[in-house]
Amino acid sequence: MLRMIALTITVMFVSAGLALAVSPGKVLEFKNSSMGTVKFDGAVHKKATANCKDCHNDGMFPKMKQGTVKITMEQIYAGKLCGVCHNGKKAFEAKANCQRCHIPAKK
């Protein structure tokens, strides 16, 4: 019994450690838009933001898993999701800087 508990706790710690290791050191690629792939650099955002909860909260990206939230420009322009910061105040404005996020597909 005790060993089972110890094992469970170990597994919990290991998975927490893995989860923590992912986003900040990783670049997520969002490839659904015709404007071109969006690269989201975890390291840049870790430096630029105070806390995982700045993004991983109920109103934005609740899950630490890619593909759980559908991101549209309408929402970004309305100040939601990436647009919470990319509004020209906390970070560069989305409307004026398409290609700082979207990398045009090569022809």
In sequence order, which residues have a C-beta less than 8 Å from that of residue 13 and are 6 or more positions away? none
Task: Give residues 73-92 in contact with ligand HEC (rule: CB under 6 A).
Answer: 73-74, 76, 81-82, 84-86, 90-92
In sequence order, which residues have a C-beta less than 8 Å from that of residue 73 and are 6 or more positions away? 94
| 56 in Cβ contact with 75 (< 8 Å) | no
Is residue 35 close enough to count as binding ligand HEC by CB under 6 A?
Answer: yes
Among 2, 4, 17, 31, binds ligand HEC (CB under 6 A): 31
- CA distances 15 to 18, 20, 22, 43, 55, Å, are 5, 9, 11, 20, 20
Is residue 20 close enough to count as binding ligand HEC by CB under 6 A?
Answer: yes
Contact set with ligand HEC (CB under 6 A): 19-20, 22-24, 28, 30-35, 38, 40-41, 44-46, 48-49, 52, 54-56, 61, 63-69, 71-74, 76, 81-82, 84-86, 90-92, 94-95, 97-98, 100-102
